[in-house]
Structure 1
Amino acid sequence: MGVFIDSIDEAVNESPVGRFFELKERGSKLSIEFRGALATFMSMAYILAVNPRIISDSGGPCPVPESGNLFDPEYSSCIEGVKKELITSTALASMFGCFAMGLGANLPVALAPGMGMNAYFTYSVVGFRGTGNISYESACTAVLIEGFIFLFLAVTGIRYWIIKFIPEPVRFATPAAIGAFLAHLGLQTAEGIGLVVSDIATAVTLGACPLSKRTPIVALTPDCAANTNFCVTSDAYTCDDEGGVMTSAMTWLGLLGMVIMLILLAYRWRSAFIVGISFVTFISWFRDTAVTYFPNDDIGDARFEYFKQVVSIEPLDKVLAPFTNELSDAGVALFTFLYVDFLDTSGTLLGIVSAMGYVNEEGDFSKSHFAYSADALATIFGSIFGLSPVTSYIESGSGVEAGSRTGLTAVFCGFFFFLSLFFAPIIASIPAWAIGGALIIVGSLMARSLAKVKWYDITDAATAFITVMVMPLTYSIAYGLIAGIGTYVVLQGTFHFLTLFGIEKPVFEDPELSQQEKSVDQTNSTKKDEKSDEEDADDENA
């Protein structure tokens, strides 16, 4: 089998496909790109289930009942239909984005509707079940316009000049910060193993309690205080009240999957992520177990019924082209979508491409115009199907760690998303605790970029550290970049301002380099003394 695969790899490398994707030049081959694509796709396949659930919480295009009852059975039924349609929308937009990135920019970066932006779209812009000030149609139109503005910035090159102002320590810290963000996701419940949960007193704490001992955390708004029917729950919960810390079988299974991946990686198995995720997923599909993804309740039964369909294609009757010209209140949402999408994409692309070693000294990389344009086009395409902005995914780092180096990985991911149009019930049934371990491992591997930071320079050290800390703790790549850049600008600006009063800017020296220079000086001095002694001896002999 190995000889057969090698022969195919060699044939593809010499084919027009291999030359187009520069497989040989980048030290890759078909089998490596395929494995990397599987690792990336399986790490981000949760978006097929999570994104529709979040966006459908906005109520979509479903009209709010005249009675004002947000839980009216007919209204809820309409939202359930929107949720199923959004699975198809998510797969279509992700497929388009992956194809655009792979064929246009030749990068192993997969795209999908962005986590964080979908929550902002639903809960801050449209509001839970349409309780916000902006309609679902206005929000989708704002996303469409944002995509065109982003495309303009990418095509004209203005985007590059904006990126050039990102300081060096921020560029070096970004991959590690994204890695910390990935690990943060992997440690939580929504996309991970549930080891870290919410806490009333300390914000976060050790969790891993079973479903029966979880207490959901809600926002105590005036509406919620007056009527519990208006309390919006989420994936956040605490184990404080019921206890049961570290007794969740799902967490332990997720940890087992992570250990399996780590051991296989230590033996340089490129399929480590695929094996680990598949192992945990397969075990989680059995019913009547402590780790089942299909518990014996209404949610579990609904999941299982959908899972049993295996093949299902949802029509797009409600969410197709939901645009409007009523944009009077959408200005803030438009601006927010733009800057978050721009900074998220910039941080993700720079982080992943830096991990591959393809970023030049100026902080740019080959075909960057195409990469950012692909991201913008995917956002435009996604808005047509009722989605929040589509962006480059940090989970692509799992494919890069598996060996991916070319856009063929993104093309394969696009093909997998195409298949998910038909097998959405299967793909949507990959549990979060099967994915969390992979995200944690990828995060740890991406931390090596911190070795390039000038830690002896307090300006660079503080900038890099704040970038790494703020990004996962605020759950936003954009906020991490803003914090890092802001810190650098304030410090450098202060130093330059003080020079106006004769206070020179401090000079930070590398202690290791200084020690090496001292060692060299001492060695040279010793050699000079020895040479001088030899000359004196020669003079005496003469």
Structure 2
Amino acid sequence: MEQLKSYFLQNTTLKTEIIAGITTFLTMVYIAFINPAILHDAGMDQGAVFTATCLITAFACLLTGIIANTPIGIAPGMALNVFFSYTVVKGMGIQWEHALAIVFLSGVLFIFVSLTSLRRLLIEAIPYNLQIAILIGISLLIALITLKNNQIIVTDPHHLMHLGAMNRPESGLFFLGFLLILTLDYFQIPGAIIIGILSITTLSLLTGLSTWEGLMAMPPSIMPTFLKLDFSGLNTILAMKAMFTFFLIAVFDATGTLIGLLNPTLFKQQKNYAKRLSNCLTADAVASAMAGLLGSASTSPYIESAAGIEAGGRGGLTAIIIGIGFILMLFFSPLAKMIPNFAVGPALLYVACCMMKHLTDMKLPDISETAPCMVTIMMIPFTASIADGIGGGIILYTLLKLLTRQKINFLLFILSFVFIIFFLIS
């Protein structure tokens, strides 16, 4: 008992860790509603994905808490589930069973890289400005998909896109939900996203736009997605491109988020800081591979973990509490079923806004830095492909640095060559 106490309660107390865990859980529980809605667009069973989401999040958080002893919540990533549904399945025409196999293989690759020095080499190879540009491009893609799915912007034969009908009650509730979440976030109220989703769902029920499905029930069967991954269709260039992109997003997203969350002096001064950071990445990699087996997109550390850290969370017990929260969440599947698109949409748009905040981190001294970032940011939403945006940015960055005789990492030449092959063949 004393050993457990000394391991989990370094520089903290049991009460503080429990409060921190509940705080982070409330800020990220929205993924239990949003991930099934997004993957349902790829043709997957929404109930099964709900169960898979809760299970994989619980597994990831428990694993992180135990082996890394860090207060980090890990769940299916927002950028990764959007890439899964709208780029890989809908854009590339890859069946979701094959996409799950791609998720699994990219997770296995991530495990290998996280256990070797390759992770450090890869992270150092991609310029920081391009990493930020990828994040900004993804935020614009999330915003575009959200607005189209909620008919805020629409297309027709005469226009590339234009504003939809603003007099629809669904549009009004969408904007009300977005405004509510933004206001709650401004005043730093924990659980702003889930409060916004549930508030709009309640209004939707009261106005007859949604029907009551109940509050609690036994978890939906996971069998429609469990072990449904299919490796038979992965010998195409599109499948390899998708796997490579899943892997790149997972590595950069996880590393950047963890360094940002665990970088403060209070963590760096703690015992085994580097080992805890490395173990957290390994836990995320293992969870990503597991996601493919259960029926979800790859996982990622959640920036919402900052809420729990702010509440005093310093160790793995915070992550364990988050995991327990998602196990309990399994019994609230009827709630997930009756949440309409226009209640989920504001949360997605808010996430896009949060990602956009990183724009100020970019440092653009000359055109050789500015142009590749601009191409990356433009290509991701304009082509509806994160992979194409990353590839376009890396190729242009490498060529410009080569032509202007500037120093460049040798791995960028390899990545550029790979993406050129992808573009020419696909």
Question: TM-score by structure 2 length?
Answer: 0.74
Partner of 2:210: 293
Partner of 1:204: 161
Q: CA RMSD in A?
A: 4.0
Instruction: Give yes or no for contact 1:110–1:413 (8 Å, CA) kept in 2.
Output: no
Match of 1:470 among 372, 379, 391: 379
Instruction: Give yes or no for contact 1:463–1:487 (8 Å, CA) kept in 2.
Output: yes
Partner of 1:34: 22
Match of 2:183 among 246, 258, 263: 263
Instruction: Give yes or no for contact 1:175–1:352 (8 Å, CA) kept in 2.
Output: no
Gaps of 5+ in 1: 1-14, 57-81, 129-135, 208-244, 295-303, 499-542
- For the pair 1:381 / 2:290, whether they are aligned, the reply is yes
Partner of 2:39: 51
Partner of 1:352: 257
Percent of matched pairs sharing the same residue: 22
Q: How many Å separate the matches in 2 of 1:188 and 1:98?
A: 33
Higher relative contact order by CA 8 Å / sep ≥ 6: 1 or 2?
2
Instruction: Give yes or no for contact 1:141–1:323 (8 Å, CA) kept in 2.
Output: yes
Match of 2:247 among 339, 342, 346: 342
Q: How many Å separate the matches in 1 of 2:293 and 2:263?
A: 33
Partner of 1:7: none
Instruction: Give yes or no for contact 2:17–2:317 (8 Å, CA) kept in 1.
Output: no
C-alpha deviation, 1:430, in angstroms:
2.6
Closer/same/farther in 2, CA of residues 30 and 308 from structure 1, 3 Å limit = closer
Helix, strand or coil at the partner of 1:114: helix
Partner of 1:417: 326
Q: How many Å separate the matches in 1 of 2:170 and 2:93?
A: 34
Q: How many Å separate the matches in 1 of 2:397 and 2:277?
A: 25
Partner of 2:121: 161
Note the alpha carbon deviations across 1:149-207, whole angstroms, 9 max, x for none. 33212212312211210113123444544444444454342xxx542334445443322
C-alpha deviation, 1:418, in angstroms:
1.8
Q: How many Å separate the matches in 2 of 1:204 and 1:251?
A: 17
Q: How many Å separate the matches in 2 of 1:483 and 1:272?
A: 36
C-alpha deviation, 1:88, in angstroms:
2.8
Match of 1:486 among 374, 391, 395: 395
Counterpart amino acid of 1:465?
M
Instruction: Give yes or no for contact 1:145–1:334 (8 Å, CA) kept in 2.
Output: no
Gaps of 5+ in 2: 266-272, 408-426
Helix, strand or coil at the partner of 1:204: strand
Closer/same/farther in 2, CA of residues 143 and 490 from structure 1, 3 Å limit = same
C-alpha deviation, 1:94, in angstroms:
3.3
Helix, strand or coil at the partner of 2:30: helix
- For the pair 1:276 / 2:196, whether they are aligned, the reply is yes
Note the alpha carbon deviations across 1:404-432, whole angstroms, 9 max, x for none. 67666654443343223222121233333
Closer/same/farther in 2, CA of residues 141 and 35 from structure 1, 3 Å limit = closer
Partner of 2:337: 428
| Bigger radius of gyration | 1
Partner of 2:169: 249
Instruction: Give yes or no for contact 1:40–1:398 (8 Å, CA) kept in 2.
Output: yes
Counterpart amino acid of 1:261?
I
Q: How many Å separate the matches in 2 of 1:170 and 1:142?
A: 24
Instruction: Give yes or no for contact 1:466–1:484 (8 Å, CA) kept in 2.
Output: yes
Counterpart amino acid of 1:116?
F
Match of 1:88 among 39, 46, 51: 51
Q: How many Å separate the matches in 1 of 2:308 and 2:362?
A: 25
C-alpha deviation, 1:339, in angstroms:
0.7
Instruction: Give yes or no for contact 1:322–1:384 (8 Å, CA) kept in 2.
Output: yes
C-alpha deviation, 1:383, in angstroms:
3.4
Q: How many Å separate the matches in 2 of 1:384 and 1:176?
A: 30
1:12-31 alignment to 2 at 5 Å?
A: 19=9, 30-31=18-19
Counterpart amino acid of 1:390?
S
Counterpart amino acid of 2:59?
F
Closer/same/farther in 2, CA of residues 182 and 285 from structure 1, 3 Å limit = same
Q: How many Å separate the matches in 1 of 2:376 and 2:349?
A: 18
Partner of 1:532: none
Instruction: Give yes or no for contact 1:94–1:417 (8 Å, CA) kept in 2.
Output: yes
Counterpart amino acid of 2:210?
Y
1:64-143 alignment to 2 at 5 Å?
A: 84-105=47-68, 106=70, 108-112=72-76, 114-118=81-85, 122=89, 124=92, 127=95, 136=97, 143=103
Note the alpha carbon deviations across 1:342-392, whole angstroms, 9 max, x for none. 1221342245346548399xxx9874533443333223323333x254232
Q: How many Å separate the matches in 2 of 1:196 and 1:440?
A: 13
Instruction: Give yes or no for contact 1:143–1:380 (8 Å, CA) kept in 2.
Output: yes
Partner of 1:75: none
Counterpart amino acid of 1:88?
T
Instruction: Give yes or no for contact 2:32–2:336 (8 Å, CA) kept in 1.
Output: no
Counterpart amino acid of 2:257?
I
Note the alpha carbon deviations across 1:215-244, whole angstroms, 9 max, x for none. xxxxxxxxxxxxxxxxxxxxxxxxxxxxxx
Between structures 1 and 2, the one with greater helix share: 2
Count residues with an aligned counterpart: 387
Closer/same/farther in 2, CA of residues 442 and 389 from structure 1, 3 Å limit = closer
Note the alpha carbon deviations across 1:47-85, whole angstroms, 9 max, x for none. 1344256343xxxxxxxxxxxxxxxxxxxxxxxxx6644
Helix, strand or coil at the partner of 1:422: helix
